[in-house]
Chain A
């Protein structure tokens, strides 16, 4: 390899690495801005888990009851209200507006949670 070719090779490599970094970078940015649109909340031992969940506008949150006792997920401001979920039953709600949504189980009101939509 002569000197010129060596320079081209190293230049090409640099560009390739740069492009790779750009792609990687843009992927990271994408992950931060637009996380997976759907999120899960599990009800287990009379607790909503996670108790606070953060999702983007347009996300659908699905609650699943893992207890032997029926539960509900009811917004304190009347935004959403699940049917009664018996064991392994689910309830989903799509959040179309940003905001903080507090909710609780209307059967066992000590159980509370939050959906943060941003």
Chain B
């Protein structure tokens, strides 16, 4: 391990997000992450427990599950991960090996590195091997680099509105895919725009307050770190439309690391990348690919498995790494990431 890499990791371990989580605390979180962490939400009160414990509980599965993957960056070939196609393949293998076959997969953007047709082709080829045949996409900024996202829309956004937003219902849950990477304004962060917000308000109108809602978009719909643009300028407006619902889950990518937050009945979650990690907010001069030793890479990449239980109308989010850490899950507690 080079000193620089070691410093980066040490920095990350020292104080994640300046939230007072010290090295030991973070390692504890890492142990959770290594084996996955389930948190469920019922009546707005979050609780969490180690994934290992859940799996021992009479093998109870959700009424259905789906998997979120994110930030595959096919075409990226720099030292942080010279083979992003291989790590995406590992993610797909991991999905195919899940005890409960997911009904579908959601990809929260940055499929490609440079929006090249060959990169999308490679992604399609790898995704073909997934056991779940239905895959829902929203674009990341890397997918709209050259043509305002026209190619993305042709390939992955048939039948969608505007720059690619849409909604669908699955077994009683209402899913909404949002686009916050189009027409970005100088000096700003992610943006949904007036037209999409109007559509969203209208789209949600027909649903009763007891309908579980899942919003997914590339850039986080909560402000994580404005200096790096890790947030969405008009997300508050969007979130005002879901206030009346009893269970809202927001799934995002973009920042290549797990962050979770619960605000009232809304739980926010960001996924790991399948390609390369990024530094924790403020721990590096800028966002961007973070180099870790090759044998550590698959411990900072992963997939997110979401289980839905009809009985409790709750969604349980489980993150698992591409490489199992081997260390047993330790402790329990609330709020992974502690934000």
Contact = CB atoms under 8 A, between A and B. Distances in A.
Interface residues on A, range: 20 to 34
- Majority secondary structure of chain A interface residues (helix, strand, loop or mixed): loop
Nearest to A109: B184
A109 B229 contact: yes
A76 B288 CA distance: 24
Contacts of A86: 114
Given A106-B184, A109-B184, A46 B141 contact: no
B200 interface: no
A37 interface: no
A22 to B, nearest CB: 48
Contacts of B188: 109-110
A45 B227 CA distance: 12
B265 interface: no
B286 A46 contact: yes
B285 interface: yes
B192 to A, nearest CB: 14
B25 interface: no
A94 interface: no
Interface residues of B, number: 25
A46 B228 contact: yes
B337 interface: no
A69 B186 contact: no
B59 interface: no
A25 to B, nearest CB: 43
- Majority secondary structure of chain B interface residues (helix, strand, loop or mixed): loop
Given A45-B288, A46-B286, A109 B186 contact: yes
A108 B186 CA distance: 9
Given A68-B80, A70-B113, A84 B146 contact: yes
B228 A110 contact: yes
A83 B146 CA distance: 7
Contacts of A106: 184
B186 A76 contact: yes
Interface in B143-189: 145-146, 184-189
Interface of B: 76, 78, 80, 113-115, 141-142, 145-146, 184-189, 226-229, 285-289
Interface of A: 45-47, 67-70, 72, 76, 83-84, 86-87, 102-104, 106-110, 112
Given A68-B288, A104-B187, 10 more contacts: A45-B285, A67-B286, A68-B80, A83-B146, A107-B184, A108-B141, A108-B229, A109-B187, A109-B229, A110-B228
5 contacts: A45-B286, A69-B288, A69-B289, A70-B145, A107-B142
